[in-house]
Amino acid sequence: MKELLLHIGAPKTGTSHIQRSIILNENSVSRGGYHYLDNLRWHDGAHHLISFAIREAKYGGAAFSFKKEFAKLKKEVEKTKNNKFIISTELLFFTPNEKEQDRLKQLFSLFDKVKVVVFFREPVAFLNSLFKQMIRDPSDKSAEQPLNFITRVAHNLDYKGVIEAYSHLGGEVSSFLYEDYDDVSEAFFTQVLDVPLLKVNKQKANISLDGAGLKIKYALNSQVEEFELNVQLAEAIKYFQVSLNNKTNIDMFNDKEKKAIAHVYNQFNGFSDAFPKVNMSQRGIPFLPVSSEMMDRFKNWLADYNNNLHQNIFG
């Protein structure tokens, strides 16, 4: 009998801390009969892909297909020996519309039983924590207008609606109050997984990709035309300079994506003083040779670009 443990947050309840703890204690988790799905792992920055696919969302020029993500997930579930599976993403903390419900039902159909786990946070504490996070993120302007901020995040407080939605879809919902625990990861392991937490994750701060980082991730995996992709990357990297100096964030990109970022850096560093200079080789990203033909094509394309748009991207 195959069982899904679907952890949906909520936001600002230590979700990233739990995800890192699962990876850190993977042997213990596996002995407990669980498999943390490879295609949706936190350290690949891919744990939100299923939620974007369920929404059939577009992000950073990439359109996410539920059919494609479902096929990858189905293949992994069928080939895995363990019968209990973990999906963890707080972007599934939402009340789905009719089409999204149908996609969730299709996801749930891969399993004989679905357990939905959600940690709630006292609303005022949640708003305070999220507001501070947005202030730290230079790419997020929501915090500049408190009323806009509250309007934008209010759906994260629809606790009753989320529980009712997942219960209606056939999930067995278990909820916990974040403030009740000194260590949310320990609570997740002992009360949800029934697996000992042998290795303690000491990283408390959320160092996952911010909005600009996600834009890079999804732009890299999009199917847009080559030069359009490079512009998207350039625009995103401009707002991601601080994170590019953080090796932990860089490691969230796979080797193919690192090479793509390095390729863009090589091109722009050749002729744009405005483009951020980062010693990428010290961040695990190799510098790749760029052909003169590619440089000429790229420069000619930029020369044809509207100057105002050029300034918007690099100015």
How confident is the model at residue 169, as a pLDDT?
95
List, in sequence order, every residue forming a beta bridge with 34; answer none if it has no partner: 84
How confident is the model at residue 56, as a pLDDT?
84
Which of 134, 137, 114 is CA-nearest to residue 12? 134
196 φ, ψ (degrees, to nearest 5): -70, 140
Residues of the chain with pLDDT under 70: 39-47, 58-62, 132-150, 202-315
- Percentage helix, strand, coil, to 5, in the chain? 55, 10, 35
Burial class (CB in 10 A: 0-12, 13-18, 19+), 9: buried
How confident is the model at residue 180, as a pLDDT?
87
Give the span between the Cα atoms of 230 and 265, in whole angstroms: 10
How confident is the model at residue 123, as a pLDDT?
80
How confident is the model at residue 313, as a pLDDT?
35
CB 115 within 8 A of CB 172: yes
The sheet carrying 34-36 orders its strands as 34-36, 84-88, 3-7, 113-120, 172-177
The residues, any chain, with a CB within 8 Å of residue 302's CB and separated by 6 or more, are 310
Residue spans of the domains in the chain: they are 3-193, 211-314
The answer regarding whether domain 3-193 maps to CATH 3.40.50.300 reads yes
- Per the prediction, the chain carries an average pLDDT of 73
